[in-house]
Amino acid sequence: MPRYDIYKTLAETTANIKQLRKLNPFTIHKKGTRAKALFALALVCILWGTTWIASKEGVSHMPALQLAAIRQMIAGVLYVGFFLIRKTPLPKGKEWNHIFVLSFLNFIMSNGLSTWGVKYISAGLGSIMGAIFPLWLVVIGLFISKDKLPRKALIGMILGFGGVCIIFYEHLQDFFIADFRFGILLSLTATWTWAFATLYTKRKAAQYNPYFSLGLQMLIAGIALTTFTSATGNSIPITSIPWQSWAAIAYLIIFGSVLAFIAYLYALQNLPTEQTSIYAYINPIVAVLCGWLIFSEKISVFITVGGVVTLIGVYLVNKAFKITPPPEHAEPEGV
């Protein structure tokens, strides 16, 4: 088996976007103006940032994994139903193996755990934690690649983790609180699994319709999480779910999983990929501001400075490897 060059893989993350355009389920073509594309990008920046707030509100009234299960189940049915109506052929053979693996990494672990995590930590902090996943790609690369780490990536990694340290400086005492530690652990694990899913997508995923795969991953994860929460007693009767949680689920599905994704595809196909990737840096800012406005979450100097330093570090890492998430692998909480 040839040596796996992670840096080359990271640099090729968006290489197949042009080929994927023909698979776009929404038949978005290059007919829009730049102004429309910028507006679509602005929607992505705002809507995916607010999904952290919706998740925070939803899990305040019901078990977190059950919320993630319902959200993924309904969104998955919508996506899969769309393709079945269009008579899109189902994946074949070993393609299902890749879908099951990505379903586990992307939605059961990454999305499920990040949703669970905001039950114990602020939405703003959860969003910043979610934004650092490119740093783990560099860390993984240190162990599996013999190539020299680019200086820009090394500086970015140091800045990124340094920014996280700044953020947590004022939370040192909170680590004595079991729930806070648990929330941080869940959020960290979610970023790890997202990083591994990113690498797996590039290395193993077969050349089938990635948009159909996204819906299948959601549906499979929704079924798996529903089974798990029911078997372990970590769920409540459907009739007992309060309206606040249903409103949050509806928002996550309509605005986070459908409208924002359509806008993301449109922006991706009408703007330079590096420009489109700016959403990853704005989402945490939107989440922090919305958390402050809606939940009265504290915005301190440490969070502000640490968040800026962290995002600069992530930017440098992305710049070093030209990392831009492909359509089927966008921001974890947003998807």
Domain residue spans in the chain? Answer: 30-329
259-285 mean pLDDT: 80
pLDDT digits (tens, 9 = 90+) for 25-40: 455 444 556 788 888 8
293-318 mean pLDDT: 87
pLDDT given at position 206: 54
175-193 mean pLDDT: 92
End-to-end CA distance of the chain: 33
On average, the pLDDT of the chain sits at 82
Please tell me the distance from the alpha carbon of residue 246 to that of residue 243, in angstroms, as a whole number: 5
pLDDT given at position 278: 79
193-220 mean pLDDT: 79
Q: What is the DSSP letter of 255?
A: I
Helix (H, G, I), strand (E, B), or coil: what is residue 15? coil
CA atoms within a 13 Å half-sphere pointing along the CA-CB vector of 208: 20
CA-based R_g, the chain, Å = 19
Grade residue 14 by pLDDT with cuts at 50, 70 and 90.
very low
Burial 250-289 (b: 16+ CB within 10 A, else e): ebbbebbbbebbbbbbbbbbbbebeebbbbbbbbbbbbbb
| Whether the Cβ atoms of residue 68 and residue 115 lie closer than 8 Å to each other | yes
pLDDT given at position 59: 95
Name the nearest CA neighbour of 276 among 263, 285, 290: 263
